[in-house]
Chain A
Amino acid sequence: MGSYVIGIGVISAIGNNVEENFDSLVSKRTGISALTHFSTSHDVPVGQINLTNDQLKEMLGLPLGKTYSRTALLGMVAVKEALRDAGVDPHSGLRIGLISSTSAGGMDLSENFYVEMRNKENGGRLRDVVSHDCGDSTEQIASALGIHGFLSTISTACSSSANALMLADRLLNHDQLDLVVAGGIDPLCKFTINGFNSLMILDKELCRPFDATRAGLNLGEAAGFLVLQRDKPKSGKCYCRLAGYANANDAYHQTATSPNGEGPFLAMSGALKRAGLRPEDVDYVNVHGTGTGNNDQSEGTAMRRLFGEKMPRFSSTKVYTGHTLGAAGGIEAVYSALAISRDVIFPTFNFKNRIEELEMEPETEVIPNAGVKVVMSNSFGFGGNVSSLVFSAE
């Protein structure tokens, strides 16, 4: 059981491709900075990708005159890289599916359309609203890259792309497809910045995951995709195996996770059970670790319940990228694949103050040759949606 990761692609605030991301991760170089792509009255730092939509179109060889949501453009960059990395030709006759996920969909365009429509009866260009729904970016990516098989899109807030990987594995196990490209995308937009600001969980400084002084999260934008196949490749690349996963619902509160971490505990223990592994087999946990008071406390409590005294090494990479919402599970799956294939642990480099009641500290230095064979990646979200993935060396 468990499908194999044969290709990866990512674009985030710390790089436009896998190598740039890896280089930033091992250089402790954050992508969190001031927002410049659009104006907002909130003075909060973000994980912004420093390419305009026109620059992204140029990179992809797309006509500058055509309108695409930033969601679709970022997704195309990452999916294209993942397919190339896997050495997959979409026209090879294989049954290839695309499972994407996003929380904002085409909101980066439609939020502007909405303003213009409010100002004037027939205001706003229709081309800015046709991509509003979440399926649009998936279909744009599929069409641009020649994927004509099964398409689907998931939106479960911040756990979206972890869930896309679960569906991918299930489809492969049921022989519905030969290859699946799965992951997620979210662009920065006014809607989400204002949403998270209204919840008062945006830090005005660099976020401090699992730190006693943490004051909230930084939002980021990204796309991360993985190419999976059911059988171990006889030749060519193989990063790791998606050995197990579980999705649960905390069923506690619409936005907060329970203080005892019931949902996160169910997801993490369920993922290990599916992988046929024990808690002590886990070498590294890429935690959800957003830096909000609620998340880190709940996640830490659940980890303590699961791992007891034998806490594995863990870190949050959100100090590099910000919380990229629907893309988080995708890019962190890419980072997990890199942790295994290149045997390295990426640090939460700015951690200083331990949360006393949890008695646990994330890694603060890059650890090469860390003996990483099993990685757990957590993604928790609104609506109580919690997901855990477990990756293992082949």
Chain B
Amino acid sequence: MKCYIRNMSAISPQPTFATDSFLSSVVVPSADEKCLKAIEPDYKVCIKEAGLRRRMSHVIKMGVASALNCVEGANGTLPDAIITATGLGCLADTEKFLQSIIDNDERLLNPTSFIQSTFNTIGGQVALLLKCPCYNFTYVHRGFSFESALLDAMMQLEDGDASNVLVGGIDEVTDTEFRVMERMGFWRSGAKMGEGAQFFLLSSQPTSQDVAQITSLRTFLASASDGTEVESFLDSCGLTIKDIDCVLLGESGDAKMDATLLSWKESLPAGKMQATFKHLCGEYQTASSFGVWCAANLLRYQTVPDALCPVGKAEGLRRILVFNSYRNNNCSLFLLEKIDR
């Protein structure tokens, strides 16, 4: 069920947007910074209509800019399916509308924030701006959101229902969410919150400019795990852990919340190359999309930047396994491979 990454785009807490470098310089948060905010590009460049741009909230701008940039960089290949993923959607607009209900005692409310609060707002806006009347889905399932979107895209490509699919994972941090998570003790054990918008233009047919190949993915619940998921996933791809050159881990930094991932990591053969990505993007529901962005770049640039904290050695980078975990609940595995030219 493989597909090819024609182009990709990332707005993240790191300088990842519209650049040819791959994490050569990174923003390292201090120990007491509990939240990694995205570095926002000059939105005027991507979203030209001033009125539209003004109405868009932070998360919509991030998502739309990342999506448009991804499509533009693919030499004008328009998607025939647009699939977005978000854990919490347009939180700021949701809160704004809730606040207006209270402030105005339910009377004469401005509908704009309500309209923009729906989870499919970004997907709808991207369709409007690209004028794509095609398949348009939004997945909203915690740490399975981006995974569902990617699985859907890969099935559509294999079925021939689409030739080019735009897939993205988007989430934002708001002050209210931050305070609620603080009360829940989210980062007491070392995790940091994060945000970002990663988009991928995926194709069923290879071209000479593809970044990497996504071979397969699988999701499982930590609560139902028997510890054999990675082995059986690799087995379904005709591989064993020996065939993997680098394992890219989505550790949040909270050992309790990473328990399933960490326990599998213990079983890795000595010297197997490992790297991590979540300290760069923070923890959020669709953070795995940043992991996939990193994995694809590892294959493209054939080098592991120090920012990903590599341990161990690899002969070359042909196959990367991404293991992500969200709150020790949603676990996901992605296999990406280098494209031979």
**Which of A's residues lie within 8 Å of B, judged by CB?**
40-42, 103, 105, 111, 114-115, 117-118, 122, 126, 129-130, 132-136, 138-139, 143, 148, 150-157, 163, 167, 170-171, 173-174, 176, 190-191, 194-195, 197-199, 246-255, 262-263, 266, 381-385
Contact = CB atoms under 8 A, between A and B. Distances in A.
Given A151-B221, A157-B120, A198-B111, A262 B133 contact: yes
A138 B180 CA distance: 22
6 contacts: A148-B221, A157-B120, A163-B137, A174-B155, A197-B106, A247-B135
Contact of B139 (A40, A152, A171, A252): A152
Contacts of A255: 115
Contact of A382 (B118, B139, B184, B219): B118
Contacts of A41: 105-107
B268 interface: no
B138 interface: yes
Interface residues of B, number: 64
Contacts of A170: 152, 155-156, 159
Given A126-B180, A383-B118, A135 B141 contact: yes
B98 A191 contact: yes
Contacts of B136: 156, 247-249, 383-385
Contacts of B13: none
B126 to A, nearest CB: 9
A197 B97 CA distance: 12
Contact of A383 (B106, B123, B140): B123
B323 interface: no
A103 B138 CA distance: 11
Contact of B138 (A155, A246, A252): A155
A152 B138 CA distance: 11
A199 B108 CA distance: 10
A92 to B, nearest CB: 15
B88 interface: yes
B99 A251 contact: no
Contacts of A252: 128
A153 B102 contact: no
B158 to A, nearest CB: 8
Given A114-B95, A383-B136, A155 B110 contact: no
Contact of B148 (A117, A152, A254): A152
B109 A382 contact: no
A311 B246 CA distance: 60
Nearest to A258: B133
B121 interface: yes
Contacts of A111: 98, 101
B114 interface: yes
B142 interface: yes
Contacts of A103: 118-119
Interface string B34-54: 000000000000000000000
Contacts of A385: 120, 123-124, 136
A254 B124 contact: yes
Given A135-B140, A262-B133, A254 B115 contact: yes
Contacts of A263: 133
Given A194-B114, A254-B115, A155 B132 contact: no
A20 B49 CA distance: 52
B27 interface: no
A122 B179 CA distance: 9
Given A118-B102, A150-B219, A157 B140 contact: no
B224 interface: yes
B125 A254 contact: yes
Contacts of B1: 174
Contact of B98 (A114, A152, A163, A249): A114
A253 B115 CA distance: 11
Contacts of B145: 135, 153
Interface string B199-235: 0000000000000000000010101100000000000
Interface in B211-263: 219, 221, 223-224
A191 B119 contact: no
Contact of B87 (A122, A126, A133, A157): A133
A262 B120 CA distance: 19
Nearest to B152: A167
Contact of B111 (A118, A173, A199): A199
Given A148-B224, A249-B132, A251-B133, A153 B140 contact: yes
Given A150-B219, A156-B136, A170-B155, A133 B88 contact: yes
Contact of A248 (B87, B134, B148): B134
B282 interface: no
B106 to A, nearest CB: 4
Nearest to B148: A152
Nearest to B225: A148
Most buried by B among A143, A195, A381: A195
Contacts of A139: 142, 329
